[in-house]
Each structure stands twice: as C-alpha cells, then as structure tokens.
Amino acid sequence: MFGLKWQTPVEWVEVVSENFGAFLVNHADCERKAASMAMNLIGKHSYHTELVQKMSLLATEEMEHFQKVFNYCQELKVRFSFVKSSEYTNELFTMIRRKKPKELLTDKLLIASLVEARSCERFYLLSENLEDKEKRNFYKFFFQAEAKHHSLFIDLAKLYEKPALVETRLEELKDKEAEVISQIPFSAKVH
C-alpha cells in the first residue's frame, strides 16, 4: 500500500484492540500534530503560494479530524491526556537534509507523505479487522480521508524540485522508513 516497503502485520490490530482508548488518544494527537506541521510549513515556506493554499486546507481538515477523534474519545468515556513524542516521527525527522533549502523542503514534504501513508495503511487494517463494526466504520472514514494526503505531499515536492530527484529521494526515504517502523515494537499507537 502506497509503495511502503514494510507492511504492518495484522497482529498489530490485536494490540490496538486491547487498549483502544490509548490508541484513540494517540490518534487524536497525531491529527493535532499533522495540523501543526501544515501550519509550520506555511510559516517557514510562505513564499510558495501553492504550498500555502494546500497546507491551509490541510491544517483545517486535520483539525476537523482531531475534533472527530476527540469527540469519539468523549463518547467512549476515554480521558484525553498528554501523549509522548513518537519514536517513529522523531527518527524520520533526523533524515531531513538541512544544508540546501530545496532539499530541506523536499525532505519535509516526503517524510510527511510517508507518515500519512503509514497512518493510512494502519487505518485500513483497523477498518478491515477490528471486531466492532462501529469502530471499523470509524476507521474506514479515516482511511478514505487520509488516503489523498500521501500524494498531496509528493505532488508538492515535485512542484518545487525536479520530479526525478523527488522519486529517487522518496525511494531512499521509504527504505529508511521501513527500517525504522519494523524495529518499533507494536503498541496502541498509530506509529
């Protein structure tokens, strides 16, 4: 799915099912962070009109997703709480090349695309494998909603850098992403 080089085993769903409340809190936090990341891209790259337009819409959509997950937490009587930073995203962000502005922007966008792809892959697993139909439908919505974000970031990267260079770098980052995610023990987290 999305060309990811390591597929999450279905056993991950069992871990999530055992602590679904903690997973929901983590998911809500991921949506909040995605909105924040979109706003950060606007702030640091405001001279790119297309990026500003797309990230503004994305930030709004991600906050709507946050609200949807937060409301579901409330409905299920799950207490919203602080979430530790993600080992997965922390590790991916170390791969960002920082010497040249074009490389910096390309890497930020491509890593965002991989995070979205991994989230989407896992939401799909939940939509197909959770026992509870309501929860499956909840994650079917997120799978469908998040699917387009992966390509949005790749398309933006190709707008500001040569497409062939973007594709080469994306393949490099996919390899590294697979190494990172495959080493993280399963837990009730999106990543």
3 state DSSP class of 137: helix
**Residues 96-109, mean pLDDT to the nearest whole number:** 95
* 77 occurs within a structural domain: yes
Domain span including residue 58: 11-183
According to the model, what pLDDT value does residue 47 have? 94
Count how many domains the chain has. Answer: 1
Contact between 85 and 153 under an 8 Å Cβ cutoff? The reply is no
Answer whether residue 1 shows pLDDT above 80. Answer: no
pTM score: 0.95
* 4 occurs within a structural domain: no
According to the model, what pLDDT value does residue 32 have? 95
Q: Which of 141, 150, 186 is nearest to 170 (CA)?
A: 150
pLDDT digits (tens, 9 = 90+) for 31-50: 999 999 999 999 999 999 99
Q: What is the DSSP letter of 135?
A: H
According to the model, what pLDDT value does residue 85 have? 85
CATH number of the domain that residue 23 is part of: 1.20.1260.10
Answer whether residue 2 shows pLDDT above 80. Answer: no
* 87 occurs within a structural domain: yes
According to the model, what pLDDT value does residue 83 have? 83
* 6 occurs within a structural domain: no
Q: Round to whole Å and give the CA distance between 17 and 12.
A: 9
* 68 occurs within a structural domain: yes
According to the model, what pLDDT value does residue 145 have? 87
Residue 4, classified by CB atoms within 10 Å of its CB into exposed (0-12), middle (13-18) or buried (19+), is: middle
* 65 occurs within a structural domain: yes
According to the model, what pLDDT value does residue 60 have? 98
- Please, which contacts does 69-72 make with residues 24 or more away whose CB atoms are closer than 8 Å? 69/24, 69/27, 69/28, 69/31, 70/28, 72/24, 72/138
* 128 occurs within a structural domain: yes
pLDDT digits (tens, 9 = 90+) for 128-177: 999 999 999 999 999 998 888 999 999 999 999 999 999 999 999 999 99
In what helix (H) or strand (E) does residue 141 lie, and over which residues does it extend? Answer: helix 133-160
* 5 occurs within a structural domain: no
DSSP code per residue over 60-82:
HHHHHHHHHHHHHHHHTTPPP--
pLDDT digits (tens, 9 = 90+) for 49-100: 999 999 999 999 999 999 999 999 999 999 988 788 889 999 999 999 999 9
According to the model, what pLDDT value does residue 15 have? 97
Q: Round to whole Å and give the CA distance between 150 and 166.
A: 14
Size of the chain, expressed as the number of residues it contains: 191
According to the model, what pLDDT value does residue 146 have? 85
